[in-house]
Structure 1
């Protein structure tokens, strides 16, 4: 016996919002072929569609499905129980129950698929009615553990924000390679972690958090920063964390969300999912475990328990969460301590402008609530190659340093200014050569022309600060680097910028985003068909199903006070008339729909 008619009846009773919710959750695979409730019911009763819908259900909901299938009337009697009634309503909304004689009924296709899936997963259907076994280590008599203290998550939160910012800076200059699966290559993650001075696992977590927040994007075979990343880095550390936290909480797996209680650690909830959700896929279980790790990394939880801030964010109270975060997280530090050994002690998060300037002139050594950075010859030279002048570098250190500019730092900036001098290498088309080198001073130009390490470039002077070479620009850049001259190329910077802006950040589809056009059109067709003439009565849908499946039915019609029953093979139903083949008489009959009083299976 098919459950198509019962499910079609349930679909026909749905209002537009309920129907849209059903289509959004079940996502029919062939929407173009769905024209009416019968068509949608047939699509939702496909085995693959049923399994996808059953997978996230807990054992109580599955038990209700089996209960209605085994003892329909007893199952309905239990609807007086509020919790059971709520589950039945949820199952109807999900298209896993039908309606017959105004009562919810089990669908044979769903029942069969559920029994087979349970047996495949190693569960006995009869076991659903018994509570799951206690997990090892559980102690029902033990008092609940104390919730995390108000500031126990702060260290993790500030560290995650700092590491994510550093990862974005690395990606800005060196996009990470993507595997064919779309994940970041392990070698790229390790290289990024080494350059920042953090663990590879932390770099992976930071990239994942940035991805959820839309701060990175796929640029072909590479991962690059998105346009939104600049806005994020220009925000203070509190706004940054709130962004990472909210976007991560929005991705919490549904099974984990269903069991989210503060009295139990997230890890314990995740470990118990296979018992609570017997048909949960391994992929969904893995996603739950990964979320637990991500929550701990970002400071959403501490020792496995959600913080009060995370609870506010999870419940949608963003304003209250922000007020609490601003009370608990430290304000921006007034400055940093630059040591004579060129190390830089950062006592806390900095104002965005100070952080950006300091990051442009230093390299990270340790990222945390208090961080350590270092000024190196390479970091200053790289800053000069980006267009920062020696005067700007000194001004930046003078502004952020609480200890002034130590003599070793002043000497390093001065000596590199003489040596680097903003050497710009660009392609040149003319009689002078193929490459033009523009330097910041005539003295530096003199040094380059007499340096033996550069003699093979055959440099010749065009004006006091401009040199030309007949070699290609990439050869000139390599030679200057080998001779320890730090040069830059506008073309290279433009290419890096183009790679960064090559694509928009990917966005995970929100549960309330607009439906794709094909699914939106499906909702409209089904909604209108359920309310169109010749009616939406139960026997009309039986005729539609018989037409669709090309099976005969017994049709009873009443005329002039007499009833007549025919064995008919329905052909079409339109204009208020049924056209069908009378298989017993061997003729075609046309019956007005308003005369039909019953339609039964043959």
Structure 2
């Protein structure tokens, strides 16, 4: 007798005592809380909301829905499913205990299956949904077919020969013969006595088949063999029915015999609990510090990437995505491996900070959302990135691999989504978060734990997605030294503001000053405020990063600042205001010298023309052999014409050491701002998912009410009439009585029977559940259609109450597919 039993439910329909005959009847006997648990455990059943319990039961037994819920069961519960499939319908809980083992976890596993409607009925008569049996296949847990199935095509005379070779008395028919053999093969002592006579080689054959697969190949398997004619170990087994022919060259081990040989258990090794995880305790403060450092680096890398593309990004491939060479350039610019560069690219794309500009020659550019994101504090920027990473279906680790059609997978391109990625991230990091603060665990142990909790899905993912999740979590600062940080724990709970608040004190305080040096460099001893960082990025180039960032001033960088509209006075003011050291004289000279020459030479559109008030400059340029490729000619003392586009001429002249400026057709200076290139407003990339969203508590409550109302209507009839027959004539009530009855039914969510005259003048009768009453109309759900309809009150002839109590006992809906 089992010492652990799941709680039992009342059998049959409410008020009944017989076991339910169908899954619909079983659901009808459950309370609202239990129906809510079913809908919460299987969200796909709520889209759309079923009309009644019969439709709910039908939908719960569809192949797609059952397969989806099986994917979410842990390994032990799946082992219980295997054992339940082996047993015939109507088995007792004790029979399941014998096959699985009387372990404390069995009761909880059975209750899990009953809550999810994969197993139904009282503990004395449990049934498995037929779809589960179909999905289990012909060899559940590596067991062959029952003896009755395996011998179904065997002739009566051959069955009597097998009985005789087993030493059993003859029977009157084939059914009796198979029953006698099954009884013997189910007896441990009888099988043990029989196998003592078997040759050692025959026992070896059984050992190979007992734990599956249960089939083997042999020539002439379907040839009748008697015990005294057997010349091989396989023939010895075939003569006694220990192996059964399954084809001309195939034999199978019957299920009854395999269970005896397995010692009465379905599985060789029972796994009622997840595997142990080896843990390493670490200092929680050190973990938070390491995570904060990684988080700060992540924000800087994304910002550096998008600043790099602000003046013009790489082209978008025709098939979508980023080219391999462009990925290499990004990795070189960020000074990181290509795999890490792909992480920052995908993270920026998933957060909506970068997108294609939509032009004919499409480029990757930052979006307007980037400017909003960049203006926020670092901790909030990190929370936005990490929150999106946790939920996105895009997997950066797939960049560089090849898809099913042997095509390369490019960063920012299609084919990089995996619907299970968010679930894997939550499962792995959630397991880490369950450990004491500051505790890390090996990736192999976490993967084994995930494989126990989601064995079906993990088998498809292998270890790749899990390994990438842990690497990306460390890069992003969700974990530090392999353990979840304080901000990471808040992130897993969906509390982005709390995560940002937990991270903020651990980040360095942004500085509003730099240290200018005589070698034309500026040292930022820490992160800079956004405004100063933008100005320095425009006027200088980053030479090195690390604990401090070194900016290098040069002629091109100063010219870039002047091209963007800054003046020499603006730059001098910037340096004097934000430098903690005196402004070096070489830097002042560099700015003044570039500013003095900047704009003296103007380039416009002819094909292109050059204009300068100083004739000597144009003469010098005409005499410069390096400029012969521009094919310039003098049109006037102060004007030259060149063969080439203005932007090409500008670039060539800057290469020669000049500082030209562009001007418009009206002669105005064209100011180009490198930080002004943005895409049009873009929405976030779509999240590819094969799972329905988790229903909210209010949706589940409304769904339960709707299903109950529809079910009452399905098994109801007008008061005083038998067998659900329609009234002889339409219900007739006054307008006041009709309104009062509908208001009462609306308050109680109670079905009523109404008489209704259509626009064509046809009289009809309908069962409705009022959901709203306003403006001379009643909004209600009609059971037969399962849809919402609006009825004008003046077309309702009357309202008749519905008697549910009497009808529930003797009115049955359609047969359930899970019977």
Give TM-score scaled by structure 2 length.
Answer: 0.53
Assess if the C-alpha contact under 8 Å between 2:292 and 2:507 holds in 1.
Answer: yes
The question of 1:347 aligning with 2:520 is answered no
Structure-1 separation of matches of 2:507 and 2:283: 21
Tell me which residue corresponds to 2:443: 267
Tell me which residue corresponds to 1:193: 331
SS at match of 2:580: coil
Q: Which of 196, 204, 210 matches 2:342?
A: 204
Structure-2 separation of matches of 1:448 and 1:39: 87
Q: Which of 493, 500, 522 matches 2:679?
A: 500
Structure-2 separation of matches of 1:176 and 1:501: 17
Q: Can you list the C-alpha shifts for 1:67-102, whole angstroms capped at 9, x where unaligned? A: 554566428999x99977776676667x56265579
Q: Can you list the C-alpha shifts for 1:184-242, whole angstroms capped at 9, x where unaligned? A: 43322220222344443332222233234332234456543222111121223233223
Assess if the C-alpha contact under 8 Å between 1:155 and 1:369 holds in 2.
Answer: no
Structure-2 separation of matches of 1:127 and 1:146: 42
Q: Which of 111, 129, 139 matches 1:107?
A: 129
Structure-2 separation of matches of 1:127 and 1:386: 74
SS at match of 1:153: helix
Q: How does 1:244-323 map to 2 (within 5 A)?
A: 244-250=385-391, 252=422, 253=424, 254-257=426-429, 259-260=431-432, 261-262=434-435, 263-265=439-441, 267-272=443-448, 273-281=450-458, 282-283=460-461, 285-323=463-501
| Most deviating of 520-529 and 210-219 | 520-529
Q: Which of 93, 97, 102 matches 2:118?
A: 97
Q: Can you list the C-alpha shifts for 1:96-127, whole angstroms capped at 9, x where unaligned? A: 6265579985323234425689979x999725
Tell me which residue corresponds to 2:194: none
Tell me which residue corresponds to 1:571: none
Assess if the C-alpha contact under 8 Å between 2:474 and 2:480 holds in 1.
Answer: yes
> Which of the two has higher C-alpha Rg?
2
Q: 1:487: Cα distance to partner?
A: 5.7
Assess if the C-alpha contact under 8 Å between 1:365 and 1:374 holds in 2.
Answer: yes
Q: Which of 215, 221, 227 matches 2:353?
A: 215
Q: Which of 51, 73, 77 matches 1:57?
A: 73
Q: 1:290: Cα distance to partner?
A: 1.8
SS at match of 2:513: coil
Q: Which of 334, 359, 366 matches 2:537?
A: 359
Tell me which residue corresponds to 2:561: 383
Assess if the C-alpha contact under 8 Å between 1:56 and 1:277 holds in 2.
Answer: yes
Q: 1:359: Cα distance to partner?
A: 1.6
Structure-1 separation of matches of 2:212 and 2:522: 60
User: Alpha carbons of 1:593 and 1:307: their partners in 2 closer, same or farther (altered >3 Å)?
Assistant: closer
Q: Can you list the C-alpha shifts for 1:359-379, whole angstroms capped at 9, x where unaligned? A: 222222333342233223333
Q: 1:302: Cα distance to partner?
A: 1.8
Q: Which of 630, 633, 644 matches 1:458?
A: 633
Q: 1:277: Cα distance to partner?
A: 2.9
Assess if the C-alpha contact under 8 Å between 2:311 and 2:674 holds in 1.
Answer: no
Tell me which residue corresponds to 1:551: none
Structure-1 separation of matches of 2:654 and 2:299: 34
Tell me which residue corresponds to 2:175: none
Structure-1 separation of matches of 2:318 and 2:59: 32
Number of residue-to-residue matches in the alignment: 532
Tell me which residue corresponds to 2:378: 237
Structure-2 separation of matches of 1:242 and 1:600: 52
Tell me which residue corresponds to 2:219: none
Q: 1:351: Cα distance to partner?
A: 1.1
Q: Can you list the C-alpha shifts for 1:319-363, whole angstroms capped at 9, x where unaligned? A: 554443232222113422233223332211111111111122222
The question of 1:332 aligning with 2:353 is answered no
| Most deviating of 398-407 and 171-180 | 171-180
Assess if the C-alpha contact under 8 Å between 1:338 and 1:406 holds in 2.
Answer: yes
Structure-2 separation of matches of 1:459 and 1:503: 48
Q: Which of 534, 546, 555 matches 1:368?
A: 546
| Most deviating of 411-420 and 353-362 | 411-420
Structure-2 separation of matches of 1:494 and 1:347: 27
User: Alpha carbons of 1:377 and 1:177: their partners in 2 closer, same or farther (altered >3 Å)?
Assistant: same
Greater relative contact order, per chain length (Cα 8 Å cut-off, separation 6+): 1
| Most deviating of 184-193 and 318-327 | 318-327
RMSD: 5.3
| Most deviating of 303-312 and 237-246 | 237-246
User: Alpha carbons of 1:349 and 1:47: their partners in 2 closer, same or farther (altered >3 Å)?
Assistant: same
User: Alpha carbons of 1:524 and 1:134: their partners in 2 closer, same or farther (altered >3 Å)?
Assistant: closer
User: Alpha carbons of 1:394 and 1:92: their partners in 2 closer, same or farther (altered >3 Å)?
Assistant: farther
Q: Can you list the C-alpha shifts for 1:293-338, whole angstroms capped at 9, x where unaligned? A: 1111122212211112212332345555444323222211342223
User: Alpha carbons of 1:69 and 1:477: their partners in 2 closer, same or farther (altered >3 Å)?
Assistant: same
User: Alpha carbons of 1:152 and 1:333: their partners in 2 closer, same or farther (altered >3 Å)?
Assistant: same
Assess if the C-alpha contact under 8 Å between 2:599 and 2:661 holds in 1.
Answer: no
User: Alpha carbons of 1:498 and 1:115: their partners in 2 closer, same or farther (altered >3 Å)?
Assistant: farther
User: Alpha carbons of 1:77 and 1:239: their partners in 2 closer, same or farther (altered >3 Å)?
Assistant: same
The question of 1:6 aligning with 2:23 is answered yes
Could you list the runs of 5+ residues in structure 2 that have no partner in the other structure?
1-19, 143-210, 214-265, 393-421, 665-669, 717-722, 726-764, 768-782, 785-806
SS at match of 1:412: helix
Structure-2 separation of matches of 1:299 and 1:505: 23
Give TM-score scaled by structure 1 length.
Answer: 0.69
User: Alpha carbons of 1:258 and 1:81: their partners in 2 closer, same or farther (altered >3 Å)?
Assistant: farther
Q: 1:521: Cα distance to partner?
A: 12
Tell me which residue corresponds to 1:581: none
Structure-1 separation of matches of 2:452 and 2:38: 31
Q: Can you list the C-alpha shifts for 1:255-277, whole angstroms capped at 9, x where unaligned? A: 32453333442624543233543
Q: Can you list the C-alpha shifts for 1:405-464, whole angstroms capped at 9, x where unaligned? A: 32332233233324443977555xxxxx344668xx845x863564122772436569x8
